[in-house]
């Protein structure tokens, strides 16, 4: 019985280590290869605002913007005509927004991030391929792998220290 528990613990440990390791490598690889166009550079323009570098977004990519003030994602052809009063009419609506972070999905094309204010804004932006969903899934797989490895260690220890049942002595 204890031998079986020990074997099960060792199997859980190996599966957990392999799962956590493979998922961590995949998460690191997908994060480093999926982010393009990441920058904080904003350029002053003739309309009194600031704009980002040109962001070329392909199908399946997302744009993530983190800004300390109102920032708008507008099509590249509208950069010269958007003013502080009209920029909202040119802006693309974010797919999701939380706090000062906005995410734009399913918008292939060329865009600029535009802000208006008296001083240079603090804006971080990036084009991400594959979406953040892939990174979240691989991160969760890392956690599951770590949990399995810890459970495997505990079960293996229990299997190793568990004493065999005392067999009754047979008398002849």
pLDDT band for 17, please (50, 70, 90 cuts).
very high
**pLDDT, position 105:** 87
% of the chain beyond a pLDDT of 70: 88
For residue 31, pLDDT over 70 is answered with no
Range of weakest confidence among 3-7, 27-31, 67-71, 125-129: 27-31
Mean pLDDT of 126-138: 73
* 24, pLDDT greater than 70: yes
Look at 33 and 26; give whichever has higher pLDDT.
26
pLDDT band for position 30 (50/70/90)?
low
pTM exceeding the 0.75 threshold for the entire prediction: no
Percentage of the chain with pLDDT > 90?
Answer: 25
Distances, alpha carbon 125 to alpha carbons 9, 32, 80, 101, in Å: 45, 15, 21, 10
Tell me, what's the pLDDT at 73? Answer: 92
Is the per-residue pLDDT at 82 higher than 80? Answer: yes
């Amino acid at each position: 019985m204890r031998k079986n528990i020990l074997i099960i613990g060792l199997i859980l440990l190996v599966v957990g280590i392999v799962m956590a390791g493979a998922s961590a490598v995949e998460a690191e690889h997908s994060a480093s290869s999926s982010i393009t166009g990441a920058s904080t550079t904003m350029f002053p323009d003739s309309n009194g605002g600031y704009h980002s570098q040109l962001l070329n977004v392909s199908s399946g990519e997302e744009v993530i913007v983190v800004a300390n003030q109102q920032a708008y994602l507008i099509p590249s052809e509208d950069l010269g005509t958007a003013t502080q009063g009209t920029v909202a009419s040119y802006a693309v609506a974010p797919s999701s927004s939380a706090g000062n972070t906005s995410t734009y999905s399913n918008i292939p094309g060329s865009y600029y991030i535009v802000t208006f204010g008296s001083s240079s804004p603090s804006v971080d932006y990036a084009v991400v391929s594959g979406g953040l969903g892939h990174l979240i899934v691989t991160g969760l797989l890392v956690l599951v792998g770590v949990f399995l490895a810890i459970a495997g260690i505990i079960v293996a220890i229990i299997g190793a220290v568990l004493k065999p049942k005392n067999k009754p002595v047979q008398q002849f």
